[in-house]
């Protein structure tokens, strides 16, 4: 087995990683779950404070802070031989500081195909390619079952309140909306997370508003507010993990989307 492996990450950087890595730090909650699903439980040496899965196994791991506020000094003391970060989820300055001392693989995932490519790349650099292929094949099989209706609903997906912040087209969540057969009411191909006023939302006139559980935890009271603002639209609270976690959590997403589509088109 080779002593190291070279790969191009999501930013186009060539990264040389000890192979197979034995001390891996995931800097995003979805990645922590994914590494366990790849069978790398004994190689994961930390977790973020927002990591949730697998619930029974992550408690023993040291906390390295949140994705946007990593404890860089603590990471230095853990001596990782691979750090997995994301260009959107993590703080650029902190990531660049870690790059000076450790191999850092940066994922960049803006759509469904890039998500599957990232799963395969992570399998390649961690010595778990067969499991990564199994996961991607199962995701493809699951997503192929999502029904595509003739008439697509015009959808507004909100992730924040005060100010309202929506999901634009150049994003992974937008790609998940497309996989559901929904049409994003935001048309700018580059704007990713625009702020919207109540008047903006009225003018967009969506058929359906999806209120995400993260990063802002929308609740029933917020649903009622939106229904009052848009009396002709359907409004649903949705699980943000299903729309935004771009690794093995996608194994659960297709069934969730199928049930959501049935509900909103009933």
pLDDT of residue 1: 46
Is the distance from CB of 72 to CB of 98 less than 8 angstroms?
Answer: yes
Phi, psi of 110 (to 5 degrees): -115, -5
From 53-57, 67-71, 182-186, 237-241, the region with the lowest mean pLDDT: 53-57
Q: What domains can you pick out in the chain, each with its CATH number?
A: 4-108 (3.40.50.1980), 154-264 (3.40.50.1980)
Both structure tokens of 218: 């929308």
**Mean pLDDT computed over 165-170:** 95
117-129 burial code (b ≥16 CB/10 A, e <16): bbbebbbebbbbe
Segment among 11-25, 92-106, 111-125, 138-152 with least mean pLDDT: 138-152
Question: Contact 32/51 with Cβ under 8 angstroms?
Answer: yes
Whether 191 has a pLDDT exceeding 90, the answer reads no
Q: What is the DSSP string of 66-105?
A: ETTEE-HHHHHHH--SEEEEETTTS-HHHHHHHHTTS-EE
Cβ pair 83, 104 in contact under 8 A: yes
Q: What is the mean pLDDT of residues 73-86?
A: 97
């Amino acid at each position: 087995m080779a002593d190291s492996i070279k790969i191009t990450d999501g930013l186009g950087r060539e990264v040389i990683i000890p192979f197979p890595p034995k001390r891996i730090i995931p800097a995003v909650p979805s990645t922590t779950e994914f590494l366990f699903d790849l069978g790398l439980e004994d190689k994961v040496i930390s977790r973020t404070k927002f990591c949730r899965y697998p619930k029974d196994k992550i408690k023993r791991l040291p906390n390295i802070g949140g994705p946007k506020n990593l404890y860089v000094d603590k990471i230095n003391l853990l001596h990782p031989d691979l750090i997995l970060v994301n260009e959107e989820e993590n703080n650029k300055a902190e990531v660049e500081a870690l790059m000076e001392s450790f191999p850092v693989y940066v994922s960049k995932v803006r759509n469904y195909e890039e998500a599957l490519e990232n799963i395969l790349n992570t399998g390649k650099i961690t010595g778990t390619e067969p499991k990564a292929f199994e996961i991607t094949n199962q995701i493809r099989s699951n997503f192929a079952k999502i029904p595509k209706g003739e008439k697509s609903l015009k959808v507004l997906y909100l992730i924040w309140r005060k100010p309202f912040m929506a999901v634009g087209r150049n994003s992974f969540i937008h790609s998940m909306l497309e996989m559901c057969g929904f049409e994003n009411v935001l048309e700018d191909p580059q704007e990713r997370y625009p702020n919207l006023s109540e008047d903006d939302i009225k003018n967009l006139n969506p058929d359906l508003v999806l209120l995400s559980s993260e990063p802002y935890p929308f609740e029933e009271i917020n649903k009622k507010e939106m229904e009052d603002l848009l009396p002709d639209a359907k409004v649903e609270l949705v699980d943000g993990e299903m729309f935004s976690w771009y690794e093995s959590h996608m194994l659960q997403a297709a069934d969730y989307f199928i049930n959501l589509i049935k509900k909103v088109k009933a």
